[in-house]
Amino acid sequence: MRWFHVKIHLKLYGVFRSAAKAGDVELDVKTGSTVKSLIDQVISQENFRSLRALLMDDSTSDPRSNALILVSGREIGALAGVDTVLREGDEVAILPISHGG
């Protein structure tokens, strides 16, 4: 089966940007890819591995407790969460959440 790809623009902010040493990244993902599969693809790449410890919650393997994630300006909680399907030209922004008081 032949897979088609779509281009996604990934924007990283704060500590995520520092860890990745990049703020803006263009990625090709398979058609039908989700936010979760995009994040898995990114953190599996050698130059982005430092993001894993900052982004992923070890107990749940879910990035949402550590990051605010937007797809084309909409928070994924208002969409389908990490199962939100990405479309050609989407911008995925990942911003750190500050914890504490």
* Amino acid occupying residue 71: V
Q: Which of 59-63, 79-83, 95-99 has the lowest mean pLDDT?
A: 59-63
Domain boundaries 5-96, CATH class: alpha beta
Residue 101 pLDDT exceeds 70: no
Residue 1 pLDDT exceeds 60: no
- Say whether pTM exceeds 0.85: yes
Which residue matches tokens 């263009």?
26
Q: Coil, helix or strand for 28?
A: strand
| Beta carbons within 10 angstroms of residue 59's beta carbon | 7
Domain locations along the chain: 5-96
Instruction: Kindly tell me the number of DSSP H helices and DSSP E strands found in the chain.
Output: 3, 5
CA–CA separation, 16 vs 43, rounded Å? 11
Chain centroid to CA 2: 25
pLDDT in tens, 38-61: 999 998 998 888 888 888 877 777
**Alpha carbons within 13 A on the beta-carbon side of 96:** 16
